[in-house]
Amino acid sequence: MVSTATRIGDFQFDNCLMNAAGVFCMTREELAQVESSAAGSFVTKTATLEARAGNPEPRYVNTDLGSINSMGLPNKGLDYYLDYVIEEQNRIGSKPHVLSLVGMSPDETHTILKKVQASDYQGLVELNLSCPNVPGKPQIAYDFETTDTILKEVFSYYTKPLGIKLPPYFDIVHFDQAAAIFNKYPLVFVNCVNSIGNGLVIEDETVVIKPKNGFGGLGGDYIKPTALANVHAFYKRLNPSIQIIGTGGVKTGRDAFEHILCGACMVQLGTVLQKEGTEAFDRITKELQAIMAEKGYETLDDFRGKLHYID
Ligand code: DHB
């Protein structure tokens, strides 16, 4: 019997697949649809303190090899998602969930996290340090000094289980430097990776999305090798108490298998979920189970992190 069950910190999940923040998670209705699918959990759309309309449309486009987006953090505001995850937490039989958050400034991030700290919510929080799409705001986690300062301040008051969503890194020294910072803090997980920021897709002679003259975050096939590299680089460098969520380019059971082989304990679906809907959870779970059965693996721990190298 093959099981794709997993855990993050003290939280148990019946299945290792869930949505990636930004996809199928804007409204209660979308979140409920993920909840009632084969997914093991859901994460909410990254919430800011106040609701935001986001960038002008078109701001998301699917391509043959993936997607490009510049949504600009449209969301219904912290209270909408915080109220919902508290309601869900109190519902008998519900799954554990993840609340995604970030402020429009470090001060706002602290205001948000202090509200969550003071609330009844006891579940996982994902602090998004990697939104590439708000004009004038850099991806926080590319600035190591600011990231270190924010985490230091956060952990001076925040005592609930917290993880961070990271942008992809592209240099071995950056993996080393980032991991050295993350290892100083009691993080429960890091999620690798957010979209590859600021790509450009052109059709005929024109960009395909309106914000930022067409520049936007890439997802899908374009990003799988980068995502796998980030999952494995952090798996090798982080304290074993910090677990890895793998996100990027997963559209088959084989892709999920590769993320887990690189060290992921949970795997998130972004572009494929946007393209295919919540049926993708069932299909990819079955494909992953078939690969595990063929290889004789019964649990994720039988192969998680056990990537082979060439001698
Ligand atoms: C958005 C995109 C991201 O990649 C992210 O991490 C947060 C928000 C967005 O454009 O809405």
In a domain, 227, yes or no: yes
b/e burial code for range 14-25 (CB count within 10 A of at least 16 → b): ebbbbbbbbbbb
What tens digit of pLDDT does each residue of 166-192 get? 999 999 999 999 999 999 999 999 999
**Residue whose CA is at the smallest distance from ligand 1 atom 4:** 131
Give the confidence band of 135 by pLDDT, cuts at 50, 70, 90.
confident
What tens digit of pLDDT does each residue of 244-297 get? 999 999 999 999 999 999 999 999 999 999 999 999 999 999 999 999 999 999
CA of 290 relative to ligand 1 center, distance in Å? 33
Give the confidence band of 136 by pLDDT, cuts at 50, 70, 90.
confident
Q: What is the mean pLDDT of the chain?
A: 98
Q: Annotated catalytic, 16? A: no
User: Phi-psi bin for 300: left (phi > 0), alpha (psi -120 to 50), beta?
Assistant: alpha
User: Residue written as tokens 């992953």?
Assistant: 288
Residues facing 113 on adjacent strands: none
Best mutation site among 59, 73, 129 for ligand 1, i.e. most ligand atoms within 8 A of its Cβ? 73
In a domain, 214, yes or no: no
Pairing of strands 11-13, 189-192: unpaired
Residue 132 has pLDDT above 90, yes or no: no
Query: How many CB atoms within 10 Å of residue 254?
Result: 13
Q: Which domain holds residue 105?
A: 6-54+72-196+220-302
Please give the distance of CA 235 from its chain centroid, rounded to a whole number. 16
In a domain, 105, yes or no: yes
Closest ligand 1 atom, residue 165 Cα: 6
CA of 71 relative to ligand 1 center, distance in Å? 6
Percent of the chain surpassing pLDDT 90? 97
Closest ligand 1 atom, residue 133 Cα: 10
Handedness of CA 308, 309, 310, 311 (dihedral sign): negative
In a domain, 205, yes or no: no
DSSP label at residue 95 = P
**Residue whose CA is at the smallest distance from ligand 1 atom 2:** 131
Residue 159 has pLDDT above 90, yes or no: yes
Best mutation site among 128, 140, 218, 274 for ligand 1, i.e. most ligand atoms within 8 A of its Cβ? 128
**Residue whose CA is at the smallest distance from ligand 1 atom 6:** 131
CA of 303 relative to ligand 1 center, distance in Å? 31
Q: Which residue intervals of the chain are DSSP H helices? A: 28-35, 78-89, 106-118, 144-154, 172-182, 224-237, 253-261, 271-276, 279-295
Over residues 190-202, the mean pLDDT reads: 98
Closest ligand 1 atom, residue 197 Cα: 4
Name residues contacting ligand 1 (CB within 6 A). Answer: 22, 46, 54, 70-73, 128, 130-133, 194-195, 217
Q: How many domains does the chain have?
A: 1
In a domain, 122, yes or no: yes
* Measured distance CA(264)–CA(244) in Å, rounded: 5
Q: Domain with 13 in it: what CATH number? A: 3.20.20.70
Residue 138 has pLDDT above 90, yes or no: no
CA of 308 relative to ligand 1 center, distance in Å? 33
List the catalytic residue out of 131, 192, 262, 265. Answer: 131
In a domain, 267, yes or no: yes
- The one-letter amino acid code at 31 reads L
CA distances from 97 to 61, 82, 177, 252 (A): 28, 11, 30, 23
What pLDDT shows up at residue 137? 83
In a domain, 63, yes or no: no
In a domain, 215, yes or no: no
What tens digit of pLDDT does each residue of 55-110 get? 999 999 999 999 999 999 999 999 999 999 999 999 999 999 999 999 999 999 99
What pLDDT shows up at residue 134? 87
CA of 141 relative to ligand 1 center, distance in Å? 13
* Measured distance CA(106)–CA(110) in Å, rounded: 6
Angle at 263 between CA 260 and CA 265, to 5 degrees: 65
